[in-house]
Structure 1
Amino acid sequence: MLPADYIDLYCERTAPGFWNEPLNALSNLSFIVAALVALYLVRKRGKSGIAELVLIALAAAIGIGSFLFHTFANTWSELADVVPIWSFVAFYIIMVIYRATGENLFRTLRASAIAVGITAAIFWFSSDAVLTDIDAGPDPFNGSLQYLPAMVALLIATLLMHLRKHPARAYITLATATFAISLMFRTVDMALCFSVAFGTHFMWHLLNGLMIGFLLAALVLKMPPQGQAR
Structure 2
Amino acid sequence: MNDCEVFGDGFWGQPVNALTSLAFVLVGLAILIGYRRGGATRVVYGALVAATGVGSVVFHGPAPSWSGLLHDVPLVALVAFVGVDAASDVAGRRLSPLWWVLPTIVAVTVSEIADAARPAAQGAVAALAIGACVVRWYRRPLLRQTMATALALLTVGALIGTLSRSGGPLCDPDSVLQGHAFWHVLAALAVWTLTPVISERTGSVQVVPQDR
TM-score of the two chains, using structure 2 as the length reference: 0.72
Question: Structure 1 residues 201, 174: CA separation in 2 closer, same or farther (over 3 Å shift)?
Answer: same
Which position in structure 2 is the counterpart of 1:163?
A: 138
2:32–2:43: 8 Å Cα contact kept in structure 1?
A: yes
AA at the equivalent of 1:24: N
1:202 matches 2:162: no
Aligned to 2:162, which of 158, 183, 187?
Answer: 187
Give the counterpart letter for 2:48 in structure 1: L
- Percent identity, aligned pairs only? 27
Aligned length: 193
Q: CA RMSD in A?
A: 3.6
Is 1:173 aligned to 2:166, yes or no?
no
Cα distance, 1:105–1:21 mapped onto 2, change above 3 Å: closer
Contact 1:155 1:176 in 2 (8 A): no
Unaligned runs of 5+ in 1: 1-7, 124-128, 136-142
What one-letter code is carried by the residue in structure 2 that aligns with 1:167? L
Counterpart contact for 1:26–1:67, Cα < 8 Å: yes
Letter in 2 for 1:73: A
**Range with bigger deviation, 144-153 or 31-40:** 144-153
TM-score by length of 1: 0.67
How far the C-alpha of 1:56 sits from its partner, in A, is 0.9
**Maintained 8 Å contact 2:84/2:129:** no
Deviations 1:69-126 (A, max 9, x none): 11112331111111100111122222221233221559x99xx69xx6xxx9xx9xxx
Moved over 6 A (4+): 143-147
Task: Output the CA distance in 2 between the equivalents of 1:210 and 1:42.
Answer: 15
Structure 2, unmatched stretches of 5+, are: 205-212
Supply the distance in 2 between the matched residues of 1:24 and 1:66 (Cα, whole angstroms): 8
